[in-house]
Amino acid sequence: MNKNFFEVKNVDFSISNKTKVKNVSFSIENEGDVICLLGPSGIGKTTILRTIAGLEKIKKGTIELNGKILSSEKINLEPEDRNISLAFQDNSLFPHYTVEKNILLGSERNKEKNEKKISLKEIVDLLDIQRILNKYPHEISAGEAQRASLARSLITQPELLLLDEPLSNIDQSFKEEIQEKLKKILKILKITTIIVTHDSYEAFYLGSKCGIILNNELKQFDDPYNVYHLPNSIEVVNFLNRGTLIPAEVTSPKSLENKDLGTITGNFVKPFPIGSKVKLLVQPEDLHHDDKSNLKFDIIDRKFRGTNFIYTLKTPSNAIIPVFVHSHHIHQHEVDEKFGIKKPIHIDHIVCF
């Protein structure tokens, strides 16, 4: 039987006797895999991490790591006996030790390990925290504290690493660089990691799988491409906020009809009987701009996003549709102008609800 490296089975995650996320099941197949849990603030993502770390108990289900039960209704392995490291979102560095001493305290845990995969220097260089090694936590910025905390967690080389919004306090300009470094270091050290974030781009980049937590449930647990392009519920679509749902009628196994857009062809992710009234997911990249097209809608908003513009269009039946256009596109349009949509419309994965 193929045993997963880490597994959460039917667990209710609670804090202070209040259930935050119900009946959660997901797994990490191989050692070294990185997964991300995505969801809005206050939904219970941190509670999940705290529970996996052993800081909160469970009354239902089991949590297993490498074949060993960590938590169940009857078993609760103490945090110090789990070999799991959790980097808190808020700085939890020991205030009376320098950053260096803080990080070194982490290295004591696995000092008996024969093979030392990474040194303090390597981690320090990777996270660019040489300058702050001799400083106390109160003397450094929030972003630096977060990196120091990350370094301490990484140097423990735990069996499972839990990162709670690890890059939330890091400057946007530095974030991508740190993301890349983090991904690289996790791969080198082969540390199985669960990252909690509310940033979908971060989750899609770092995680080989993403879990979407909404309304007290784990709504979807899949690879990032599927989470984005093949969302399994309207809640997930609304949360990712990158598409719109418009009414349509299924006209054949490979097409449907919308009052404003006309015929749309493509492959249905989930089959629907012909004649079904559905809600079709239209994502910004599904439609293409064409000034020559006679299918034109009013522009009600235009957002410049650096690499592209997002035009928000309003159809005659008052549906709101977003469309991406490359920012180097020669012919730009202003709000209140007409915007042409290329026909025929073809969407590779037709997602309907």
Partner 1 sequence: MRINFWYISSFVISLFVIIPILTVFSSFLDNTSNYYQVLKDTFLMEYIFNSLILLASVLILTFFIGTGSAYLVSFFDFPFSNFFKWALILSFAVPPYIYAYSLTAFFENYGTAYTILKSLFGEGNYNQIIPKFDGLLGVVLSISFSLYAYVYILARASFLYQSQNIIDLGKNLGFTKFKAFYSIILPAARPAIVAGLSLVAMETLAEFGAVDFFSINTLTTGIYNSWIAFDDLAFANQLSFFLLLFIFALFILENLSRKNAKYHFNTKAGFKQKQKIQLSGKKAFLAFSFCFLVFFLSFLFPLSQMMYWTFKFPENLFDLKILDLLMNTLYLVILSSLLLIIFGLVSNYGNRVNKNKTLNILSTLSISGYAIPGVILAVAFITFVAWFDDSVIKNLGFVSIKKVFIGSILGLVLVYFIRFYSLAYNGIKSGYEKINISVDESSYLLGYSKRKTFMNIHIPFLRNSLLFVGILVSLEIIRELPITLILRPFNFETFATTAYISASEDLLEAAAVPSLFLILIATFFIIITSKYILRDNYE
Binding residues for partner 1, per CB under 8 A?
50, 53-55, 78-80, 82-86, 88, 90-97, 105-106, 108-109, 136-138, 140-142, 144-145, 152, 156
Which one, 140 or 282, has the nearer CB to partner 1? 140
How many angstroms from the chain centroid is the CA of residue 77?
28
Report CA torsion sign: 92, 41, 62, 218.
negative
Question: Pick from 196, 247, 171: which is nearest to 48 by CA?
Answer: 196
Nearest approach in angstroms of CB 149 to partner 1 is 8
Sort strands 62-65 and 6-15 into parallel, antiparallel or unpaired: antiparallel
Calpha distance 61→64 (Å, rounded) = 10
Which one, 129 or 313, has the nearer CB to partner 1? 129
Sort strands 244-252 and 277-282 into parallel, antiparallel or unpaired: antiparallel
Which one, 69 or 105, has the nearer CB to partner 1? 105
Look up residue 97 and give its two tokens. Answer: 């030790």
Calpha distance 321→342 (Å, rounded) = 14
Q: Decide: residue 113, CB within 10 A, 0-12 exposed, 13-18 middle, 19+ buried.
A: exposed
Nearest approach in angstroms of CB 22 to partner 1 is 24
Nearest approach in angstroms of CB 162 to partner 1 is 9
Which one, 111 or 305, has the nearer CB to partner 1? 111
Calpha distance 114→259 (Å, rounded) = 67
Which one, 10 or 119, has the nearer CB to partner 1? 119
Which one, 153 or 220, has the nearer CB to partner 1? 153
Nearest approach in angstroms of CB 280 to partner 1 is 46
Which one, 130 or 141, has the nearer CB to partner 1? 141
Residue 178 amino acid letter: I
Nearest approach in angstroms of CB 110 to partner 1 is 8
**Who contacts 324 (Cβ-Cβ below 8 Å, separation ≥6)?**
284, 285, 308, 309, 310
What does the radius of gyration of the chain's CA atoms come to, in whole angstroms? 24
Nearest approach in angstroms of CB 314 to partner 1 is 42
Which one, 85 or 232, has the nearer CB to partner 1? 85
Calpha distance 296→340 (Å, rounded) = 4
Look up residue 117 and give its two tokens. Answer: 């995969």
SS3 at position 286: coil
Calpha distance 192→189 (Å, rounded) = 9
Look up residue 214 and give its two tokens. Answer: 């909404």
Calpha distance 291→162 (Å, rounded) = 49
Which one, 31 or 108, has the nearer CB to partner 1? 108
Q: Which letter does DSSP use for residue 73 in this model?
A: S
Nearest approach in angstroms of CB 262 to partner 1 is 55
Nearest approach in angstroms of CB 15 to partner 1 is 13
Nearest approach in angstroms of CB 291 to partner 1 is 50
